[in-house]
Amino acid sequence: MDNVSIINMLLVLSTLVILYFLLLIAKRTRKKQIHYAVLSMTASILLWNIAVLLYMTFDNVPWILAICERLYFLGTILVSISILFTGLIFARTKIKFTWKHGLLFVVPVISIGVLLTNQSHHLFYTVFSLIPSKQNFGIYFTIHTIYSYLCIGIGLAYLVIFSIKNYGVFSKQSSLICIGIMIALIMDAISTFKIFDWSTAIENIAFAVTISFFVIATVKFDFLNVIPIALQTVVDLISDSYVVIDEDFEIIDYNQAFVSDFSGVARKVDIMAIIKKNYSDLDVKRFKGFLDEAVREHKKVSFEISKPRNEAIVYYRVEITPIYVSGNPIGTIILKKNITEHKNNLKEVMQLNERLQSLATRDWLTQSYNRYFFDERLQQEIDLVNRLQAYGLESEKSVNNFGLIMFDIDYFKNYNDNNGHLAGDELLQTIVTVVKGVLYPTDILCRYGGEEFAVICCHTSEKGFEIAAEKIRKAVEDYDFRFQDKQPGGNLTVSIGAAYCSTPNVNKKDLITRADNYLYLAKSTGRNKVVFSE
C-alpha cells in the first residue's frame, strides 16, 4: 500500500472522527456559547477536511477541483476565527458581542471576498496544490496567514491557560487539551512554512487527532459539561485575601484582595517581608509562630489579628493550611477573612445579653439587685453554708459564713408626703449610692420592696458582719440628704435588723423572718439603730 492510499484512509478516518465530534456537540439540547463556538470550529475543520478529501478523490474533474480549492481556503479562514472565539468564550464563560468583536471579522470577510474573486486577480493564490513545493500564493495570502496565525495563537493560548486555571496543571482535561493543541500547531506550522514537502492532508489529519483529544476530554471527563469559568476570575472576586507560598515561604500566587490588603506584594517575595511591612513586630512574631506550627505539625492553624484603619479597628481571622501531595509538602495556603462585622455583631449581642440580664436582675429605679435576684442568691449562700458545715474543713466553715442585713428608711412616708414622690425616688437612688460606698465588693445590695433594702454579706465573720451593719447605719446618718431637715429629729436615718448564718440546715424563709423581726424591733425601739438579736 503506497503513501497516498495510507493518507487517503487516514483522511477518511479523520473526517469521520470530526463528524462524530460535531454530532456529539450538536445533539445537546441545551447549548451555551462555548458549545456553539466549538460547533463552528469543528464544522470549519470538517469543511476543510472534505475539501481535501474530494480534491484527492476527484483529481481529474476540473470543476470539482475548482470548488475544492475555494472550500479548502474557506475552511482555513473560518477555522482560525472559530478557534479565537472558542478560546475567548472558554476564558470568560460568556461574552457579550460588541462592535469590537465585529472588527475581528473584517479580515476574514475580506479574505473570503478575495478568495471568491481570486480568478480575476490571483491575490490569494496563483497555483493551488496539496504539495507545499508546488503551491504558489499571492500577496494577500501573507496577510491572511499572519492574521490566521494570530487568531489561532490567541485562541489556543486562552484554551491552554484557562483549562489549566480551571482544572489544574496536571488534570486529565488540561493534559488532553494541551497535547491535542500542540500536535495540531506543530503540524500546521510544518505545512504552512514548507519545512517538509509532504501533502497538506497531513495537517488535516493532525487537526483530527486534536479533535480526538477533545472528544475524549468531552465524553470521558465532561470538558464541556462544566461551566468553564477561569479560576483567577473567581478568586479575584472573592473578598477574602489569599496567598500561596512555597516551602521557602516565597509567594507563588495571590488574589486581588490580597494586593488590596498588603503593600509590596509580588511573586518570589518572602511572605514575612510583606507581613513586616504591613503589621507590627508583635503581630509579625505571632504570625511567624503560627506559620511554623502549621508547617511543622502538618495541620491547619487559625488565629485572629487586628489592624487600625480610618480611626477604627478591623479584625481578621487568618487560616494557615499546609499543602501536601502524597505526604510531601509543596506549599502553604494563607487565607485572611475580614470578621469585623461578625465581631461587632457579637459585641452587640453580648451587650444586649448584658442589658437583658440587667433588666431581669436589677431594680429599674435604683439599679441595685431586685427581689428575684435576692431570693436566688440568698438560697445559694445558704446551700453553701449547709454543705460546708456538713462536709467542709474546719478552716472553711468560718470564712464562708454570711450574714443578712435588712434595713429601711425611717419616716419615709413623711419624706414622700412633704417633698413629693419624685424626691422620694431620688432619695432611694441616693441611699443605694451611699450604702454601696461602704460595702465590700463581695457584698450584694438588693431592693427588697418599697423603701426596704437587703444586704447579703458574703464570706464574712460574725464580727465583720456586725461592723458592716453599723457602717451602713453610720454612713446614712452622716450623709447630707436633701430635705432631711424636714424629717423628725432633723435628720434622715435607717433602721437595721441583722441575722448571721453560721449553722447548718438554715431555712431561707426563717432567716429572712429573723432579720425582718430584728428590723421591726429596731424601728419600734427608737429607730436609727442596728439590732442583732432579741
Closest CA to 274 of 266, 282, 293: 266
Residue 350: inside a domain, yes or no? no
**Pair 414, 527 in one domain:** yes
* Cα 336 to Cα 299, 333, 392, distances in angstroms: 17, 10, 52
- Which CATH number covers residue 306? 3.30.450.20
pLDDT at position 528: 95
pLDDT at position 386: 81
**Pair 250, 212 in one domain:** no
Alpha-helical segments (H) within 441-507: 462-478
What three-state secondary structure class fits 408?
Answer: strand
**Pair 208, 243 in one domain:** no
Helix (H) or strand (E) holding 89: helix 62-92
Neighbours of 237 (CB within 10 A): 11
pLDDT at position 23: 85
Contact 51, 75 (CB under 8 A): yes
pLDDT at position 164: 67
For strands 444-449 and 452-457, give the pairing. Answer: antiparallel
pLDDT at position 96: 84
pLDDT at position 170: 46
**Pair 187, 263 in one domain:** no
pLDDT at position 378: 92
**Pair 485, 524 in one domain:** yes
Closest CA to 333 of 407, 215, 253, 446: 253
pTM of the model: 0.46
Residue 346: inside a domain, yes or no? no
**Pair 98, 10 in one domain:** yes
Q: Cα–chain-centroid distance for residue 76?
A: 47
Q: What is the dihedral of CA 17, 22, 24, 26, to 10 degrees?
A: -170
Q: Give the residues of the chain that fall short of pLDDT 50.
A: 1, 169-170, 226-230
**Pair 279, 404 in one domain:** no
**Pair 377, 292 in one domain:** no
Instruction: Show the domain range for 304.
Output: 238-339
Q: Which three cell numbers stand for residue 334?
A: 494563607
Overall number of domains in the chain: 3
**Pair 406, 521 in one domain:** yes
**Pair 153, 283 in one domain:** no
Last residue of a domain, one of 324, 339, 354: 339
